[in-house]
Amino acid sequence: MNYRIERLAIIGVGLIGGSLARALRAQGSVGEIVGYGRTLENLSEAVRLGVIDGAENSASAAVRGSDMVVVAVPIGSMGQVLEEIRDALSPTAVVTDVGSVKAPVVTDARAALGTRFRDFVPGHPIAGTERSGVTASFAELFARRRVILTPNPDTDLAAVAQVRAMWTAAGADVKTMTAAEHDHVLAASSHLPHALAYALVDMFVRLDEHRAIFDCAGGGFRDFTRIAASDPTMWRDIFLANRVELLALLGQYQDDLRGLAEAIERGDSQWLWDTCARAQRAREQLGAVDESGGD
């Protein structure tokens, strides 16, 4: 592949940002990689591991002279970071993000970037694990995984092409949709399951007998609740940023749980079998899936 980034700035060198850096370096698609993050310890580790070539003490310093800027910070910090880097961006720089909710990010980006908003390409890699930090990063994270771009009508088409090429070089399958469509779909496929996993584990840990429950936990419990080990700061921001879509689904889920409880209470074996069988068929139709814990 001929695509190459001469200087890549990653704001937030964690699992996603670190894995992107590793993937692009493995493909020879990047020259210099500079990073900025919240802790010196994590940045020092990123340099030691060879994930980045150097670290800066501010986001604005990191983006100077970069032709591609990837902002991989919690959604609640996105607007502040974008405002900080705006005046330091080179005239030809392209900016993208990796946030799991797009509509609020677009709103924040438009306000923070001003005339440079046309160079901002909202993005979301549907990949990840329950682990966080640069030590959890690996070059194959995005291989054959979906990355969704949600450009606006006024987004520069050349900027979109560059971000698409970057993710393609990292091994991803890139699709585009509107920010609203993205947030609606991801609320069901990712945000609701994470909310349920957190709530279930928190419910059990508050029980007096929680140690016995965890000691006897089988594979089903561990599979279902694995994602509750994900970064709480990131997921708090996601739940709040996509609250309208998530609340609607939580309401529907509460109604369905009530229906399940009522069927169990009245001993309705046919209702229970039909529900389980319908869910089984639907799950089987998904085919073989990669259980790598993407968000």
Model confidence pLDDT, tens digit, residues 4-36: 999 999 999 999 999 999 999 999 999 999 999
pTM of the predicted model as reported, rounded to 2 decimal places:
0.88
The one-letter code for the residue type at 209 is E
Q: What is the CATH number of domain 5-177?
A: 3.40.50.720
Quick check: 290 pLDDT over 50? no
Quick check: 193 pLDDT over 50? yes
Residues 90-105 have a mean pLDDT of 97
pLDDT at residue number 293: 43
Residues 111-136 have a mean pLDDT of 93
Task: Pick the range with the lowest mean pLDDT from 197-201, 215-219, 234-238.
Answer: 215-219
Give the number of other CB atoms < 10 A from CB of residue 145: 19
pLDDT at residue number 94: 98
Residues 131-149 have a mean pLDDT of 93
- Percent of the chain beyond pLDDT 70? 97
pLDDT at residue number 1: 52
pLDDT at residue number 291: 42
Residues 81-92 have a mean pLDDT of 97
What sign does the CA torsion over 120, 122, 125, 130 have? positive
Average pLDDT, the chain: 93
Residues 194 and 230 sit within 8 Å (Cβ to Cβ): yes
pLDDT at residue number 240: 96
The one-letter code for the residue type at 270 is Q
Q: Among candidates 55, 89, 71, which has minimal Cα distance to 10?
A: 71
The per-residue pLDDT for range 60-78, each reduced to its tens digit, is: 999 999 999 999 999 999 9
| Domain edges within the chain | 5-177, 181-285
The per-residue pLDDT for range 143-191, each reduced to its tens digit, is: 999 999 999 999 999 999 999 999 999 999 999 999 999 999 999 999 9
Beta bridge partners of 54: 34
Burial class (CB in 10 A: 0-12, 13-18, 19+), 92: exposed
Beta bridge partners of 245: none
Q: Among candidates 163, 136, 174, 137, which has minimal Cα distance to 29?
A: 163
Cα–chain center distance at 100: 4
The per-residue pLDDT for range 242-287, each reduced to its tens digit, is: 999 999 999 999 999 999 999 999 999 999 999 999 999 998 887 6
Q: Hey, which CATH number is domain 181-285, 1.10.3470.10, 1.10.3720.10, 1.10.3660.10, 3.40.640.10?
A: 1.10.3660.10
pLDDT at residue number 252: 97
Residues 29 and 89 sit within 8 Å (Cβ to Cβ): no
Task: Give Cα separations from 16 to 135, 207, 269, 294 (angstroms).
Answer: 11, 35, 45, 10
Residues 228-244 have a mean pLDDT of 93
